[in-house]
Structure 1
Amino acid sequence: MQTLATLAALIVAAEHFYIMYLEICRIPGPQAARIFGLPEEFMRQKRVQVMFANQGLYNGFLAAGIIWAQFFAPQNASSQATLLFLGFVITAAVWGAATSNKGILLKQGLPALLAFLAVAVYA
């Protein structure tokens, strides 16, 4: 079951690396416009691109934290560190749902919550 917990955490990390890629590398573009539900002409604004790039960097930090916690943190701290970073993802999803798009709670919050529970129970 620990393998399940690890896999769930790594899925959340992969999702956030993908979000980082979209926000840093694919804005503006039709794929990002579709996924984020924003018009491409809006995404062509330099300030919007800068905001998305900054947001992408933060998503990358969340993913990197989960990877670090799973593979590089001291063994006696790995589970707690993973829970910390998954907690950050859950918090960001709740905030994003409250301030931006309710779908964030399902798309980002639910996988992180499931991974959090798996790590809390099995790791």
Structure 2
Amino acid sequence: MTIILTILIYFVAIEHLGIMGLEIFGKSAKQAELFGMPLSFVKQPQAKAALANMGIYNGMLGLTLGLTPLFLTGHNLLIMTALLLLFVIIVAIFGSLTVKKQIFWLQGMPALVTFLVLLTQLV
């Protein structure tokens, strides 16, 4: 992998760990602002549990993206990373259609750029 691709992958991984932190440990007011939800909704125990659940998924995705280079190399590393980036892109598209449009730009666009750079390595 090139240095640029490696930096982009780790950027996406760190971004997802940050999202996890916001979803699990963020203050209700910040969560409401960032995710485009009413504060009264975010303060509900069920909403807090749902946000924490989404946070776990984001965290595991970020962790897997970041740790995959320790376990795989060459073509297998590129394929697995491409698959994980596609997951991020799909989830970002869904989130932008159902929750807040900015989700695609903040979460999906870095993954899409990284995916496109990765495709140049697969050819």
Question: Is TM (by shorter chain) over 0.5?
Answer: yes
Any conservation in 1 of the 2:35–2:100 contact (CA below 8 Å)? no
Distance 1:9 1:43 in 2: 31
Question: What residue is the counterpart of 1:65 in the other structure?
Answer: 64
SS at match of 1:72: helix
Counterpart residue identity of residue 60, structure 2 = F
The equivalent of 2:103 in structure 1 is 104
> 2: CA distance between counterparts of 1:95 and 1:37?
15
Residue 12 (structure 1) aligned with residue 12 (structure 2): yes
| Moved segments of 4+, more than 3 Å | none
SS of the aligned residue for 2:71 comes to coil
1:43-93 deviation digits (Å, cap 9, x = unpaired) = 110000010011111111210121122x32221311111111111100101
Question: Any idea what the Cα deviations from partners look like across 1:1-54, whole Å, max 9, x if unmatched?
Answer: 8110111111111111111000011142x3222222223222110000010011
Alignment of 1:66-81 (within 5 A): 66-69=65-68, 71-76=69-74, 77-81=76-80
Structure 2 equivalent of residue 47 of structure 1: 46
The 1-side partners of 2:36 and 2:87 are apart by 24
Distance in structure 1 (CA, Å) of the matches to 2:121 and 2:2: 5
Structure 2 residue ranges without an equivalent (≥5): none
Identical columns (%): 35
3-state SS, counterpart of residue 51 of structure 2:
helix
Cα distance in 2 between the residues matched to 1:80 and 1:24: 30
TM-fit CA distance, 1:101: 1.7
**8 Å contact from structure 1 (residues 89, 112) kept in 2:** yes
Partners of 1:14 and 1:68 in 2: CA distance: 11
Query: Quick one: higher RCO (CA 8 Å, sep 6+), 1 or 2?
Result: 1
- What residue in structure 2 maps to residue 35 of structure 1? 34
C-alpha contact 1:17 1:63 (8 A) present in aligned 2: yes
TM-score norm. by structure 1 comes to 0.89
Q: Which runs of 5+ in 1 are unaligned?
A: none
TM-score, reference length from structure 2:
0.89
